Chains A and B, each alone.
Chain A
Amino acid sequence: MTSPATQLAVALRFTGVGKRFDTGTEALADVDLSVAPGEFVSVVGPSGCGKSTLLRLASGLSDPTAGRIELRSDRIAYVFQDPTLLPWRSALANVELVLELNSALHRMPKAQRRTMARRALETVGLAGFERQLPAHLSGGMRMRVSLARALVLDPDVFLFDEPFGALDEITRLRMQEELQRLVHGGSVSALFITHSVSEAVYLSNRVLVMSPRPGRMVADIEVPFVYPRPAELRFDPAFARIAAQVSAALTGAHE
């Protein structure tokens, strides 16, 4: 059901999407959402509300049981909850992997793939760590490698599945700042799943709030701050007001 349509005005669109698993569990019901080119949209919701299912549907890893999903481009990059690095490959080789797999790119000379991967690692601040195995990197650095692996494909749409959920608070805040620097600018769109209200508000143009299972959209909140956003924005009263609005929608969704 996931169909790339070249003439689509939005980067990603869900129309009346539902997902019922073979077990009978209804994960999503009647979900409508759209992400414009260049837009960063976050989805917050209680655990188990089907947030991850939403991303699996968007990426085509799984098919919806109702509704339509449209993608403007098939150049998507998925950033998993875990860094999902292959432990026997170095940081550089892990980034190169997706270039090797990609059928459109695998004829590219090895040296060029290596250069692209090296540049992606530099972008995420890992220059000098190319040859390290994942086990020798910290949790934050592993997530950076995972980000580099997404960036190297130069995607049109990023799908993030709570990528910073397992990181400590300090690393997490730093990664958020870094992410908005990397993603914003140009026409790159992103759908970002998180359960952190502050993270969602800090990163996004728009925050969508989901209800508990079966998940559906209960609020759509604009975040007007311009990019790049400074770290101190999190202490701004205007920021707090929007965060409170999102929290209220979340609490409302719970009841």
Chain B
Amino acid sequence: MTQTRSSEAVSGDGRYSDHRHSRPLTSVDPVGMASGRTLSGGAAGAARARRLAGSVLPVLTTLVAFLGIWLAVSYLVLSPERREILVPPPQQVLTDSILRWSHLRPMLRALLLDVQVSMIGLVIACVLGVLAAVVMSQSSWLERSLYPFAILLQVVPILAIVPLIGLWFNYGINGRVVVCVIIAIFPMIANTLFGIHSVERGAHDLFTLNRATRWQRLTKLQLPGALPSMFAGLRISSGLSVIGALVGDFFFVQGQPGLGTLLSTYIARVQSADLFAAILLSSLYGVVVFTLFTALSSLAVGSWYTAARGTRPGG
């Protein structure tokens, strides 16, 4: 009797289609979500300007404060004769060094060398770092036997081996790239490995149940899953590669001068304005590199990574 009754009351499938109405809720544009109202035309433009100001103003404030402290130290703390040597004021750095082509030109040429060294070094560090992490991730035995040596690479006093590297790889671009790779590679290894290990067990089960090969597991699960960590590593490594290039210069007094070489020359000759200009230039390059790779990483993984973390872009 129960069976008859239940089969009479069969319901159609139409009821399941109404979930489609939830779509606008889940894909509303981030600006509208963030501010809780719909923006149009001029209002949207104003909002964009406000957002831009919101990201630029804090940086400008810090910059102004930094220049203020610099000026204060130059003029208020130091006596005029010591000022020249210890902390020349910003406008003097500008007029005596940066605006003088004969001073700026060797710095730019040195910077060009450092750009080459650091970028070649970074590419090599990335490729080798990811490869090393992939190899280690394939068995815990491999990881246990190789990882300590990766750490060794990180902690070895670079001072101690730079002369040796100079002997082995000559003092030209090769040796400097090697120094750069040694300094920049560890974050790539550590972060890639961390990313590979952080893949969820459930996802691994899914691959096991579908009899995935080791290669499929690596290329379709572990590497894409590790991508956000890899880019986090790349950001750190990109900064380190700039440091690596300068450290290489600093110790490779022979060969074409890099910014690091110039720094030690300026110190030796007490060319303080040039020293500050060179420091500014190298910092600026470091910032550019870091910003570039940060942008690259959000471009590559931003769409799913930020969404999966529940943070709205621009919100």
Residues of A within 8 A of B (CB): 59-61, 76, 78, 80-82, 84, 86-88, 97-98, 100-103, 125, 128-129, 132-138, 140-141, 174, 177-178, 181, 224-226, 228-233, 236, 238
Contacts and interface: CB of A to CB of B under 8 A. Distances in A.
A87 B2 contact: no
Interface stretch (B202-210, B253-261, B273-281): B202-210
Contacts of A228: 10
Contacts of A125: 16-17, 19-20
A226 B3 contact: yes
A197 to B, nearest CB: 18
Please classify how large the interface on chain B is, using the bins under 10, 10 to 19, 20 to 34, 35 or more. 35 or more
A135 B205 contact: no
Contacts of A226: 3, 6-7
B214 interface: no
Given A80-B205, A138-B26, A178-B16, A230 B308 contact: no
A238 B6 CA distance: 10
Given A88-B304, A178-B16, A101 B220 contact: yes
Given A101-B220, A138-B22, 20 more contacts: A59-B209, A61-B208, A80-B205, A84-B202, A86-B221, A88-B225, A98-B206, A98-B210, A100-B220, A125-B16, A125-B20, A129-B23, A134-B308, A138-B19, A141-B19, A177-B16, A225-B2, A226-B6, A236-B2, A236-B6
B55 interface: no
A133 B19 contact: no
A88 B310 CA distance: 14
Interface in B3-17: 3, 5-7, 9-11, 13, 15-17
B307 A135 contact: yes
Contacts of B310: 135
Given A88-B224, A102-B211, A224 B303 contact: no
Given A103-B211, A136-B27, A84 B200 contact: yes
Nearest to A135: B307
B216 interface: yes
Contacts of A135: 304, 307-308, 310
Contacts of B94: none
B212 interface: yes
Contacts of B10: 228, 230
A225 B20 CA distance: 31
Contact of A97 (B220, B301, B305): B220
Nearest to B208: A61
A84 B203 contact: yes
- The residue in A76, A87, A125, A140 that gathers the most chain B C-beta atoms within 10 A of its C-beta is A87
A36 to B, nearest CB: 19
A78 B6 contact: no
A80 B3 CA distance: 32
A129 B22 CA distance: 11
B301 A230 contact: no
Given A102-B210, A137-B26, A233-B6, A78 B205 contact: yes
Contact of B307 (A98, A133, A181): A133
A134 to B, nearest CB: 7
